[in-house]
Amino acid sequence: MLEIAKSEFKARRERLLSQMDSNSVAIVFAANEVTRSRDTEFTFRQNSDFYYLTGFNEPDAVLLLIKDKQHSTSILFCLDKDPQAEIWHGRRIGSKKAKTDYLFDAAHGLSSINDKLLELVSAKQVLYFAQGESAACDKQVFTLLAELRNKDKKTANAPSTLKDIRTLIHPMRLIKSPNEISIMRLSCEIAANGHKRAMCFAHPGASEFQLAAELHHHYAMHGAPQTAYASIVGAGDNANILHYTNNSDVLNSGDLVLIDSGCEFQGYAADITRTFPINGQFNPWQAALYEVVLNAQLAAFSAIKPGGYLSQANMLAMQVLTQGLLKLGILKGNFEDLMAQQACKQFYMHGIGHWLGLDVHDVGDYKQENQERALAQGMVLTIEPGLYISKDANVPEHYKGIGIRIEDNLVVCATGYENLTHHVPKTIAEIEALMNSANKS
């Protein structure tokens, strides 16, 4: 099965340790279970930084990375084996198996964490952790520091410097390894085929949540039981609500439907948007607007290469959107003036794209030393221009209530990009051909 080898997780820990100050320690917390209602929990999702460094998928665990003058050590604390709890809540790996299977230098049950942390963190100069990410984790760290300060002054010492561990982990996560790209290629392929399934199923009278169910069925049947975010299925004017997730309306003939959905495979997100006609045929006004968005996306793609910039991609897209809106009579005036005023932004309210990885809006600074960061090989990002003309907009009648976004996932390669989501039909001809070939239920 395609998965990240435990040796790659270990190599990530070693790379992180190599960047830490000497005589330092890092604490990385796993996620906890989150209550959904009364005594039920949401499906568990690991903290992405913790997962990136461990591949360990249980709640409540803690990773400790220690950098002494001479050597570096990685230690896991995980839930203690507990036959009774495991009958009710599921199997636990336990510290013994965690150490050998996940290649830690040592692993201990969580029941021993307080004493062990006092011993291991004592006399370190620098403590790294994700400050402010979780009130519970902040409290645990500050309690530890207070205990170290209050201990016998001759035997213990609290670190005097706190540093943010994310400034070291996130640049690592931003550049994907060949194995991560292979997994993302598959995540994107599963998501892409889910979109094709939804296109084939769509018909007037079906509901938005049934379309979502088609996508989710496909994801699960292909090894990706979770979505990377709540699927957006917006028919008609609902497409103009950028984060619409109610998905409760019925699909009407003559409207478009916008689907923004992606699975999560081996922890990695796909994030695809397609917009298509519910009855299988674009009307002339929908088609005209669609071509503008598609051409804007293709223009933006040309900036995706090492040394390129997301702002360049955005500018290229905005030029095409502005020209198109002028031609259709939705914007009026002079092209240069409209560009200077960013007039198209009233119909394109979001950015051109974002990093993609273990998180759908993945980590990594977009600026370095206050300068925009250039694209580099191994980055994965979305390109997702859109036009959103609400039914209340002051535009020619035929364009009202049309929302269109087209979103693909690109990996930056040595000389350009690979479109990981190319499988989903995107031109009008391709979309209509697929929809009309389907046997509608």
Q: Is 398 a catalytic residue?
A: no
CA distance 132 to 41: 23
Residue 274's nearest CA partner among 215, 213, 343 is 215
| Contact assessment for residue 144 and residue 131, using Cβ atoms and an 8 Å cutoff | no
Q: Is position 243 annotated as part of the catalytic site?
A: yes
Start-end of H helices in 249-309: 284-301
When the beta carbons of 180 and 384 are compared against ligand GLY, the nearer one is: 384
Q: Out of 189, 249, 264, 271, point to the residue binding Mn ion (CB under 5 A).
A: 271
The three-class DSSP label of residue 417 is: strand
Q: Shortest approach of ligand GLY to residue 394 CB, angstroms?
A: 27
Question: Out of 49, 214, 264, 271, which residue is the one contacting ligand GLY (CB under 6 A)?
Answer: 271
Please select the residue that binds ligand GLY; options are 214, 384, 408, 432, rule is CB under 6 A.
384
Write down the catalytic residue from 388, 399, 408, 432: 388
Minimum Å distance from CB 15 to Mn ion? 28
d(CA 191, CA 187): 6
Q: Which of Mn ion, ligand GLY, none sits in contact with 214, Cβ below 5 to 8 A by type?
A: none
**CA-based nearest residue to 329, from 292, 304, 363, 298:** 292
30 vs 318, beta carbon nearer ligand GLY: 318
Active-site residue, 138 included = no
Catalytic residue flag (residue 203):
no
| Burial readout 372-383 (b: 16 or more C-beta within 10 A, e: otherwise) | ebebeebbbbbb
Q: Does residue 382 belong to the site contacting Mn ion (CB under 5 A)? A: yes
Are 367 and 343 within 8 A, CB to CB? no
Q: In terms of DSSP H, where are the helices of 106-251?
A: 113-121, 135-150, 166-174, 178-201, 208-221
Task: Pick the closest to residue 227 from 200, 196, 257, 191 (CA basis).
Answer: 191
By beta-carbon proximity to Mn ion, the closer residue of 193 and 382 is: 382
Residue tagged active-site, from 354, 408, 417, 432:
354
How many chain residues touch ligand GLY (CB under 6 A)?
Answer: 7
Active site positions, annotated? 39, 243, 260, 271, 350, 354, 361, 384, 388, 405, 407
The residues binding ligand GLY (CB under 6 A) are 229, 260, 271, 354, 360, 384, 407
The residues binding Mn ion (CB under 5 A) are 260, 271, 382, 407
